[in-house]
């Protein structure tokens, strides 16, 4: 039986700040079944050039889904399914997910949102 889980996670970080693992303590941090993961992302600060990466690990195995330095699209309305799609990725079973976020030096608090759809 196939299952689908959708989740939105909002972020807020100071200029030049980082979040080591944005998925820490969420239901997306550990993925037990092989799944398809679809991600949308949007930053709300107009001049921001926030970046992120998404990786997984399983024991001695590691994989990169979104490479470090990938930009987050600026969209004041939040992510939309057409304009702010990051991608669809196949995730192996039994992995720990790490989403690292780096805000650029634009003054102010950087806010945004990631939307996830996990299908297994």
Residue 55 is predicted with a pLDDT of: 98
Residue 106 is predicted with a pLDDT of: 84
pLDDT tens readout for residues 66-102: 999 999 988 877 777 767 899 999 999 999 999 999 9
Residue 1 is predicted with a pLDDT of: 52
- Nearest to residue 86, comparing CAs of 43, 28, 45? 43
Identify whether the C-beta of residue 62 lies closer than 8 Å to the C-beta of residue 110: no
C-alpha 88/C-alpha 118 separation (Å) is 10
Residue 97 is predicted with a pLDDT of: 98
pLDDT tens readout for residues 26-73: 999 999 999 999 999 998 877 678 999 999 999 999 999 999 999 998
C-alpha 115/C-alpha 39 separation (Å) is 6
C-alpha 89/C-alpha 119 separation (Å) is 10
Identify whether the C-beta of residue 38 lies closer than 8 Å to the C-beta of residue 120: no
Going from N- to C-terminal start, the domains of the chain cover 4-119
Per-residue pLDDT at 107 exceeds 90: no
Residue 2 is predicted with a pLDDT of: 77
Residue 78 is predicted with a pLDDT of: 72
Per-residue pLDDT at 18 exceeds 70: yes
Query: Domain 4-119 class?
Result: mainly beta
């Amino acid at each position: 039986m196939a299952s689908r889980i959708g989740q939105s996670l909002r972020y807020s970080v100071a200029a030049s700040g980082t979040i080591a693992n944005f998925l820490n303590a969420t239901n997306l941090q550990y993925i037990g079944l092989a799944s398809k993961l679809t991600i949308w992302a949007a930053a709300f600060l107009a001049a921001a050039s926030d970046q992120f990466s998404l990786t997984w690990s399983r024991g001695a195995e590691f994989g990169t889904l979104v490479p470090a330095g990938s930009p987050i699209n600026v969209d004041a309305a939040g992510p939309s399914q057409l304009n702010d799609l990051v991608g669809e990725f196949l995730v192996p079973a039994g992995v720990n997910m790490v989403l690292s976020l780096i805000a650029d030096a634009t003054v102010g608090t950087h806010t945004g949102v990631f939307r996830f759809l996990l299908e297994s």
